[in-house]
A and B are shown apart, each in its own frame.
Chain A
Amino acid sequence: MAHATSPAAFGRPRRVIPGLGLSFTITTGTLAVLVLLPLAAMVAMSLSKGVPAFVAALADRRVLAAFRVTIVSALAAAIISAIFGLLLAWVLTRYRFPGRRFIDAAVDLPFALPTAVAGIALTALYAPNGWIGALLVPLGISVAFTPLGIGVALVFVGLPFVVRAVQPILEDLPADEEEAARLLGATRMQIFLRVIMPACAPALVTGFTMAFARGLGEYGSVIFIAGNKPMLSEIVPLLIVIQLDQYNYTGAAAIGTAMLLVSFAMLMVINRLQAWAAAR
């Protein structure tokens, strides 16, 4: 019997679905060439003049001020986004009212609207002679061209992250838990704090973190409204642009690397949060 001698393990198709090699090569090749290598080059360049130069580039007063402004406004904006986002998600899932679907669709607007468009629109709105800015002048509040403006822009950018993170959780929340709590005599506030908040807290935190991470790197919607005063309303991404304009590649790379590290940290936090939320 001839077939008995044929080597069984030779040339056997390991997987029935073809294309692993091709698709894997395209995927990893593209990522390597277009994303990973460029990022690695940036890290390498930031360290090309040694670690002390790297540290010195970051320890600059203007750079530190920019990091402070960026982190503080991103944090504040993420908190406001979380509050507004929870409100919107709640109202959109719990109530039926005219215009609900319209608002639901509008929540995605910041995802789709180019950041430069958002930037000039917000600037026009909050300028001292703008629709909203004019109302705030008598109150002695100026938004445009101050750190407050950065916050306003970042709320616009961050809001949909929170709404879209919390919405599905609220939709899936079984009504009987609330009804049971109500039958047990809980007040509305108690139900909200003890039943609803614990259920959507992980999603809220995820949305908050995503809004915060996005805020740290945001550029287009911020630079028009921020006024970009050094030490006061200058954000980190703008500083990279300024360093590049001065052909200070190493400095730009150092700031970029620091931002990348912050992004990685945020990515890990988000992954942890999602794992935590999934485990609950």
Chain B
Amino acid sequence: MSNTAAIEIRGISKRFGNHVALDNVHLDIRPGELVALLGPSGSGKTSLLRIIAGLEAPDSGQIMFGMEDASRRHAGEREVGFVFQHYALFRHMTVFENVAFGLRVVPRARRLPRTAIADRVTKLLELVQLGWLADRYPSQLSGGQRQRVALARALAIEPKVLLLDEPFAALDAKVRKELRRWLRALHEEVKLTSVFVTHDQDEALELADRVVVMSAGKVEQIGAPGDVYTAPASAFVHEFLGDTNRLACHIAAGRVLLADGGVLGRVEAPDGEAIAYVRPHELDILPAKDGSAFIRHASTFGPLVRLVVGFGTANLDVAMPVERWVRLGIAVGDRLNLAARYGAVFSDPAAPAAQLLPEVPGTMFAASICQQGGTQRN
């Protein structure tokens, strides 16, 4: 494995006082891939990024760049480009000077001639489409422009690895989406091994070749965006990626039973207590005058209708296409029954889920209350 990895993280641990930021983290990053470190705040993802960059020293473990141990190399010698969350542009330098900085601080013997530096900076500014802003100061730029200057500055030193800390967090929603696409295209173009940190699942799933889901200083799962979403390795990953409904249940003879004895579906798992997750779009509603649930709230969001369905004391999220909602012809307050088309059942929250299947396709939910049910939204 270490023959092909661009960055190999071996057993990195880091504490800040009593807080364990990273706990024996192992991770391989392949050449040319774009990896997302995804997790809630405090999961250790930024610490890991800073340790890769050499901005933070781990308590134990090694960082390998190719075959070389980079652990002892100073941040400036690691040939990494780092894009800070708030960009950290040099406020008293122009855009041009910011981008040129990494080239100008090289010892005289190895430094490029002045004109070559100017050429390189001009090319980079064209790459990030900011050539016309070269003489501006960071305070005169918009957030998206600052972000791109930060990127150009990081690329100027021709790094082997590009590291980005929450690259889009400080931008507003529209700019964020544009920049995300643009960054993906840029990555296709330069094919630089890149790692970015994010707490935004959409960002990670859309942008990355592989997603590393982290929680409480540990890697929960590593995989392609599709895989981590459809085959989460733990209950945490399932809950963290996408909206979902959480239902406490127990398994008896292959049937998933809710607290009151109602049947949720079938599963191939041993008997015992478990947690079932059903995503909003995996829930079907079937109008029925004596149904066990009722519609609390409905809102249309583009092509989708999002419902909050009262089910006993719990609220469940349901999503469906507008067409289907119109066809059903129901309204807030109407009673209905629920059925799960799919779902994930975790007998052990730290292990992969068993597939929840309908007992008979289209089977109704239990008729009454699901006391421990709750809603999870991300």
| Residues of A participating in the B interface, judged by any CB pair closer than 8 Å | 1, 3, 6, 8-16
Contacts and interface: CB of A to CB of B under 8 A. Distances in A.
B57 A13 contact: yes
Contacts of B375: none
A8 B57 contact: no
B54 A16 contact: yes
A13 B72 contact: yes
Given A1-B2, A3-B69, A8-B71, A13 B54 contact: yes
Contacts of A9: 60
Contacts, number: 34
B184 interface: no
How would you classify the secondary structure of chain A's contact residues: helix, strand, loop or mixed? loop
B2 A16 contact: no
B171 interface: no
Contacts of B74: 13, 16
B323 interface: no
Contact of A11 (B68, B72, B75): B72
Contacts of B72: 6, 10-13
Contacts of B67: 1, 3
28 contacts: A1-B2, A1-B67, A3-B62, A3-B64, A3-B67, A3-B68, A3-B69, A6-B62, A6-B69, A6-B72, A8-B60, A8-B61, A8-B62, A8-B69, A8-B71, A9-B60, A10-B72, A12-B71, A13-B54, A13-B72, A13-B74, A14-B57, A15-B57, A16-B55, A16-B56, A16-B57, A16-B74, A16-B75
Contact of A12 (B2, B57, B64, B68): B57
Interface of B: 2, 54-57, 60-62, 64, 67-69, 71-72, 74-75
B33 to A, nearest CB: 22
Contacts of B71: 8, 12
Nearest to B8: A3
A12 B77 CA distance: 13
B159 to A, nearest CB: 16
Contacts of B69: 3, 6, 8
Contacts of A10: 72
A141 B67 CA distance: 89
B21 to A, nearest CB: 15
A194 B76 CA distance: 58
A171 B57 CA distance: 43
